């Protein structure tokens, strides 16, 4: 057994770069799928796998330091670009001041407090300032999955997304300034030098981003780029701008791609949905791979050595730093008290913090080596000064090496604490749901109103959407939540508040409208959670493939048995109504069917606080649930 294990370890150590990268990709995908299955933040599994894989094979030994961190930089840039494309300025029209405060005042407060916390646990002031700069970030790679499962109100979601994406490059630039300040020493020229660096960084980032963004916009509007090249063109533009920006001004690339993404994502009538979907797939892959690779560089001994410091530091971050920075950063704004509470308990760290920490730890060590080499070449007083400087940098490099496992502990713990705990707080504050069960009905027919009323009485959130105000009259009279909007509008797809919503049922009189709405909302709610009424042509032309609607262009037909729009209206006109019935041992599903007949349409199954939308393939249990169905009431004589 021991020989087999030793052979396995040896084989892993001899992996080629291609084999190692293939293994990382497979593990990254598997970990994220497993995390989705067991309802855990995927980063926890990714880091666990990364720590384990790192004991068998070193990413630096396989890929080389330069290739490793070059790849990390490019991947982080793509992640930030994808996140920035999704930021919409109109989402924060009523939140402009809070967003600016979160990305300025709150950052300064957090940097100050994190630096003080790092000093308290024993870091030198130079390293403490760097830790503070790195950890002001939250990060879209950890915020987005939490928001996807939590689905809070639009205001909270917008604040967290903007903070996560915009503060990431701010933290990276701030870390660069701190690092350059440490290398410059405490001389009188340090402050002007840093201000010059900051100004150059801003000029390079905004100059490249806005110029390139304008060019891409013009090419898209003139249809000068074929559709099949849209995704890779934007990918190439993001990578190219990052590298050119970093070449002109070190570490300005992350800010450049963020500005580029925000610019392109907010140009009117520039349809980038297919590009955003392409980039989102890349983001999922890169996030998983990066966490596994970077976690593989840390040994258990490093984690154990720094654990006491890290736990004290972590407690300060959660209990003091985040609440105080939110309270001071948002003071005087129109953010509600409950929203502030939720924001104060939502600051997980992500891949940018991990990547930047690893890079700067290496930069400290590299700078110490260069200073020592210069000291050996110099002579006299200059040699002594350079030697003393190399010793100082070597001391800081030792502390910076401790910074890496500390930051990874912070990432693991903040993701676990915030990711697993924020849901209950959000529910208590009425700002989100950990298990969104709500349903959007598209259409204002009588049976829709009746079904929504029954669901609301069962504590299930509903929204009734229709294009015409008049069609929502019955829903408004019933006290239901309504939205007057074209379900295919930008507002409905991108801006409508979906807090607590888990499913969509498209039931207009237009089959193609229903199908398109379902496809669009599948990107938000998941393909398994969008439905439409059975198409009126579902039974026609079944043998003629030229006239049959492609299956991927329609959603699943809802209800059991499925019915078309006209059939549902005819059933209601004939006297059938929506009714909720509890199934038990004394009155099972079979009894229910026998009582109400074959024309009954089963719509929803309710159990506790969970609702299941029924369709043709649904298996309905015989007892222990409540059934919402369209039924024809029977008189006592008939039964």
**According to CATH, where is 3.40.50.720 located in the chain?**
438-631
Helices (H), 436-510: 446-457, 473-477, 490
Which pLDDT band, with edges at 50, 70 and 90, does 215 fall under? very high
Phi-psi region of 194 (alpha: psi -120 to 50; beta: other; left: phi over 0): alpha
The pLDDT of residue 429: 73
* CATH number for the domain running over 438-631: 3.40.50.720
Say if residue 91's pLDDT is above 50: yes
Helices (H), 249-350: 253-265, 273-295, 300-316, 322-329, 337-344
Q: What is the mean pLDDT of residues 319-337?
A: 90
Please list, in sequence order, all residues whose beta carbon lies within 8 angstroms of the beta carbon of residue 308, skipping any fewer than 6 positions away.
Answer: none
Element of type H or E holding 349? none
Q: Please state, in angstroms and rounded to a whole number, the distance separating the CA atoms of residues 508 and 523.
A: 20
* CATH number for the domain running over 66-429: 1.20.1530
Q: pLDDT exceeding 90 applies to what percent of the chain? A: 26
Comparing C-alpha atoms, which of 634, 218, 156 is closest to residue 427? 156
The answer to whether the CB of 507 falls within 8 A of the CB of 603 is no
Say if residue 6's pLDDT is above 70: no
Which pLDDT band, with edges at 50, 70 and 90, does 433 fall under? low
The pLDDT of residue 637: 43
**What is the rounded (10 degree) CA torsion for 576, 578, 584, 590?**
40
Burial of 469 (0-12, 13-18, 19+ CB in 10 A): exposed
* Average pLDDT across the chain, whole number: 83
Max CA distance (Å), the chain: 114
Say if residue 3's pLDDT is above 90: no
Which pLDDT band, with edges at 50, 70 and 90, does 639 fall under? very low
What is residue 321's DSSP assignment? I
Most trustworthy range by pLDDT among 3-7, 39-43, 160-164, 462-466: 462-466
Say if residue 26's pLDDT is above 90: yes
Least-confidence region, from 2-11, 200-209, 624-633? 2-11
Which pLDDT band, with edges at 50, 70 and 90, does 442 fall under? very high
The pLDDT of residue 38: 82
258-293 tens-digit pLDDT: 889 889 888 887 877 777 777 777 878 888 888 888
Element of type H or E holding 410? helix 380-429
The answer to whether the CB of 313 falls within 8 A of the CB of 406 is yes
Q: What is the mean pLDDT of residues 295-311?
A: 86
Verdict on whether the full-model pTM lies above 0.85: no
Omega before 561 cis (within 30°)? yes
The pLDDT of residue 2: 60
Say if residue 146's pLDDT is above 80: no
The pLDDT of residue 242: 93
124 or 194, higher pLDDT: 124
The pLDDT of residue 543: 56
The pLDDT of residue 212: 95
Please list, in sequence order, all residues whose beta carbon lies within 8 angstroms of the beta carbon of residue 172, skipping any fewer than 6 positions away.
Answer: 137, 251, 254, 255, 352, 356
45-75 tens-digit pLDDT: 888 898 888 888 888 888 887 888 788 888 8
The pLDDT of residue 185: 62
Which pLDDT band, with edges at 50, 70 and 90, does 94 fall under? low
Q: Please state, in angstroms and rounded to a whole number, the distance separating the CA atoms of residues 271 and 273.
A: 6
Q: Please state, in angstroms and rounded to a whole number, the distance separating the CA atoms of residues 400 and 360.
A: 8
Phi-psi region of 159 (alpha: psi -120 to 50; beta: other; left: phi over 0): alpha
508-555 tens-digit pLDDT: 988 888 988 888 888 888 888 999 999 887 665 455 566 666 666 778
81 or 421, higher pLDDT: 81
Say if residue 5's pLDDT is above 70: no
Which pLDDT band, with edges at 50, 70 and 90, does 369 fall under? confident
**According to CATH, where is 1.20.1530 located in the chain?**
66-429
Q: What is the mean pLDDT of residues 404-413?
A: 87
Say if residue 241's pLDDT is above 90: yes
Which pLDDT band, with edges at 50, 70 and 90, does 311 fall under? very high
165 or 572, higher pLDDT: 572
574 or 490, higher pLDDT: 574
The pLDDT of residue 470: 86
Residue 463 in 3-state DSSP?
strand
Q: pLDDT exceeding 70 applies to what percent of the chain? A: 89
């Amino acid at each position: 057994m021991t020989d087999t294990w030793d052979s396995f370890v040896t084989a892993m150590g001899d992996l080629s770069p291609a084999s190692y990268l293939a293994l990382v990709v497979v593990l990254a995908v598997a970990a994220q799928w497993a995390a989705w299955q067991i309802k855990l933040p995927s980063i926890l599994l990714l880091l666990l796998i990364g720590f384990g894989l790192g004991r068998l094979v070193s990413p630096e030994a396989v890929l080389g330091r330069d290739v490793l961190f070059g790849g990390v930089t490019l991947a982080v840039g793509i992640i930030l670009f994808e996140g920035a494309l999704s930021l919409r300025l109109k989402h924060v029209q009523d939140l402009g001041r809070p967003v600016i405060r979160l990305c300025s005042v709150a950052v300064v407060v957090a940097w100050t407090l994190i630096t003080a916390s790092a000093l308290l646990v024993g870091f030198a002031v130079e390293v403490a300032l760097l830790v503070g700069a790195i950890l002001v970030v939250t990060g879209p790679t950890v915020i987005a999955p939490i928001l996807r499962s939590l689905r809070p109100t639009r205001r909270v979601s917008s604040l967290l997304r903007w903070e996560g994406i915009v503060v990431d490059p701010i933290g990276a630039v701030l870390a660069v300034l701190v690092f350059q300040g440490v290398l410059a020493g405490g001389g009188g020229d340090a402050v002007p030098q840093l201000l010059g660096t900051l100004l150059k960084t801003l000029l390079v980032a905004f100059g490249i981003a806005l110029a390139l963004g304008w060019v891409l916009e013009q090419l898209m509007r003139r249809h000068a780029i074929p559709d099949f090249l849209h995704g890779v063109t934007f990918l190439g533009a993001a990578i190219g701008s990052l590298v050119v920006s970093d070449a002109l001004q070190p570490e300005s690339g992350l800010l450049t791609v963020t500005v580029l993404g925000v610019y392109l994502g907010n140009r009117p009538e520039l349809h980038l949905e297919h590009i955003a979907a392409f980039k989102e797939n890349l983001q999922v892959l890169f996030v998983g791979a990066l966490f596994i690779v970077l976690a593989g560089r840390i040994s258990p001994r490093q984690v154990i050595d720094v654990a006491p410091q890290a736990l004290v530091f972590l407690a300060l971050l959660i209990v003091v730093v985040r609440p105080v920075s939110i309270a001071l950063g948002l003071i005087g704004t129109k953010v509600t008290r409950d929203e502030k509470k939720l924001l104060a308990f939502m600051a997980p760290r992500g891949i940018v913090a991990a990547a930047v920490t690893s890079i700067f730890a290496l930069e400290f060590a590299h700078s110490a080596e260069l200073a020592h080499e210069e000291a050996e070449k110099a002579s006299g007083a200059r040699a002594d000064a350079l030697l003393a400087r190399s010793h100082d940098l070597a001391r800081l490099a030792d502390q910076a090496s401790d910074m890496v496992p500390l930051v990874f502990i912070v990432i693991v713990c903040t993701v676990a604490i915030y990711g697993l705990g924020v849901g209950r707080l959000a529910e208590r504050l009425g700002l989100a749901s950990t298990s969104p069960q709500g349903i959007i009905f598209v259409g204002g027919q009588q049976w829709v109103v009746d079904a929504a009323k029954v669901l609301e009485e069962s504590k299930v959130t509903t929204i009734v959407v229709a294009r015409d105000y008049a069609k929502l009259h019955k829903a408004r009279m019933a006290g239901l939540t309504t939205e007057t909007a074209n379900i295919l509008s930008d507002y409905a797809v991108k801006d409508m508040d979906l807090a607590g919503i888990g499913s969509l049922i498209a039931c207009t009189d237009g089959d193609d409208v229903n199908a398109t709405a379902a496809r669009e909302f599948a990107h938000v709610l998941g393909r398994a959670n969008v439905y439409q009424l059975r198409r009126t042509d579902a039974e026609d032309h079944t043998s003629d493939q030229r006239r049959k609607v492609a299956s991927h262009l329609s959603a699943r037909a809802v209800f059991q048995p499925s019915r078309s729009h006209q059939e549902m209206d005819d059933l209601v006109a004939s006297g059938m109504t929506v009714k909720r019935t509890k199934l038990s041992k004394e009155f099972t599903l079979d009894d229910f069917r026998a009582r109400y007949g074959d024309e009954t349409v089963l719509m929803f199954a309710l159990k506790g606080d969970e609702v299941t939308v029924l369709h043709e393939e649904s298996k309905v249990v015989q007892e222990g649930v409540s059934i919402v169905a369209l039924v024809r009431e029977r008189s006592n004589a008939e039964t």
